[in-house]
Every structure is written in C-alpha cells, then in structure tokens.
C-alpha cells in the first residue's frame, strides 16, 4: 500500500482529552481513532501511549486482539461477504471470487485508492437472503457473482465527466 495517511495530531489529542487521558479508556480512544482514520495509525497509537502512560505493547496487544481494529488502512467502503453455512451453500465463494477479480485484491486487503476493503465474515444475520454481502452499511441479499461488477459501479468514485454523463442519463 503506497497511500500515505496523515494524522492530525490535534484531532488525536482531542480524542485522548475527551477520555480524560485515562489509561482505562484506551480501547475507547482507539475506537474513536479507528472511526476517524479507518485504522490505527502508528503516530496516533504513540500519542495515546504517551498521554496515558501506557506501553505500546499493550496497545498493540489490544489492537491485534479485537477484529474491530486494523493496523492497516481500510477502505472507505467496506465490503463484507458472508461465508457462513447458508451463504456458502448458495455460492458465497463465487461471489467472493468475483469481488476479488473486480477489485484486484484478496480478502483482507484494501484497494490502493483506499476506496474499498474486502473481507469474508462468518455471518451477517440474514441467512434467508443468502448469499449476502454488506457494502458499507447496506445489505445485498441473493447476490449472484455475475452482478458484482454492476453493484460495484454504484459505489465506485466517478470522475466529474462520468458524473455529468450519469446525471444527464438520469442514472444513480
């Protein structure tokens, strides 16, 4: 990943201050930073460690223990393909493979432009709609691998010229 994430030291300081610099709230601080940056940048972790007098080792232990945290930049739009039993039986692997081909990345990775991240998850809680994919916060049930490209087109960033053409055609 070649993209460089710039950490706003003041923003991180504000997050730490909001939690009173209390080492008992490092997880909450990390959650707020994860929310802002879509991962835990090393510079932000160092600020937490310094302000709360917490070992970096402890912070990394927490960050690597909880699946909600990522040490690598994640995409603006997370894509989660359910790989639970019902979805697996209904072709979740083909759907995952289609996303991998379309985005040119493996599950667990993020696109170079930081627009998409792709992950397999054990269950999205709507087995009757299998196979199910969450794109951002929206669920897509009964997704056929042949429709993955068209689904992604709705979320891909458009150039100003593409937006103008799309608007002229009355498309979303």
pLDDT tens string 87-108: 999 999 999 999 999 999 999 9
Given a cut of 70, whether residue 4 has pLDDT beyond it is no
Using DSSP's 3-state secondary structure scheme, residue 74 falls into coil
Given a cut of 80, whether residue 39 has pLDDT beyond it is yes
Rounded mean pLDDT, 119-143 = 93
Using DSSP's 3-state secondary structure scheme, residue 167 falls into helix
Per-residue confidence (pLDDT) for residue 158, from 0 to 100: 61
Model pLDDT for residues 47-79, shown as the tens digit of each residue: 999 999 999 999 999 999 988 899 999 999 999
Rounded-to-10 torsion of CA 14, 19, 23, 29: -60
Sorted by where each begins, the domain ranges of the chain are: 9-65, 77-156
Per-residue confidence (pLDDT) for residue 164, from 0 to 100: 54
User: Where is 40: in which H helix or E strand?
Assistant: none
The residue that leads in pLDDT, 85 or 159, is 85
Statement: 77-156 belongs to CATH 3.40.30.10: yes
State how far the alpha carbon of 85 is from the alpha carbons of 92, 138, 141, in Å.
9, 21, 15
Rg from Cα positions in the chain = 19
Using DSSP's 3-state secondary structure scheme, residue 171 falls into coil
Query: b vs e for 13-45, b when ≥16 Cβ sit within 10 Å of the residue's Cβ?
Result: eebbeebebebebbbebbbbbbeebbbbbeebb
The residue that leads in pLDDT, 172 or 12, is 12
Q: Identify the CA nearest to 84 among candidates 154, 46, 133, 157.
A: 133
Model pLDDT for residues 150-167, shown as the tens digit of each residue: 999 999 876 555 545 545
Res. 1 pLDDT band, cuts 50 70 90: very low
Using DSSP's 3-state secondary structure scheme, residue 108 falls into coil
- Arithmetic mean of pLDDT over the chain: 89
Q: Identify the CA nearest to 135 among candidates 159, 150, 151, 158.
A: 151
């Amino acid at each position: 990943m070649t993209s460089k994430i710039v950490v706003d030291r003041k923003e991180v300081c504000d997050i730490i201050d909001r939690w009173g610099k209390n080492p008992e709230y490092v997880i909450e601080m990390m959650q707020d930073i994860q929310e802002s940056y879509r991962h835990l940048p090393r510079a932000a972790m160092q600020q937490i460690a310094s302000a709360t007098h917490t070992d970096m080792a402890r912070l990394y232990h927490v960050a690597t223990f909880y699946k909600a945290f990522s040490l690598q930049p994640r995409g603006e739009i997370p894509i989660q393909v359910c790989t639970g039993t019902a979805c697996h039986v209904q072709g979740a692997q083909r759907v995952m493979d289609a996303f991998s081909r379309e985005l040119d990345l493996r599950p667990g990775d993020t696109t170079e432009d930081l627009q998409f991240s792709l992950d397999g998850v054990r269950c999205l809680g709507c087995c009757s709609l299998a196979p199910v994919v969450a794109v951002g916060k929206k669920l897509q049930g009964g997704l056929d691998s042949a429709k993955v490209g068209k689904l992604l087109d709705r979320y891909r960033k458009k150039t100003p010229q593409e937006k103008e053409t799309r608007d002229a055609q009355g498309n979303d």
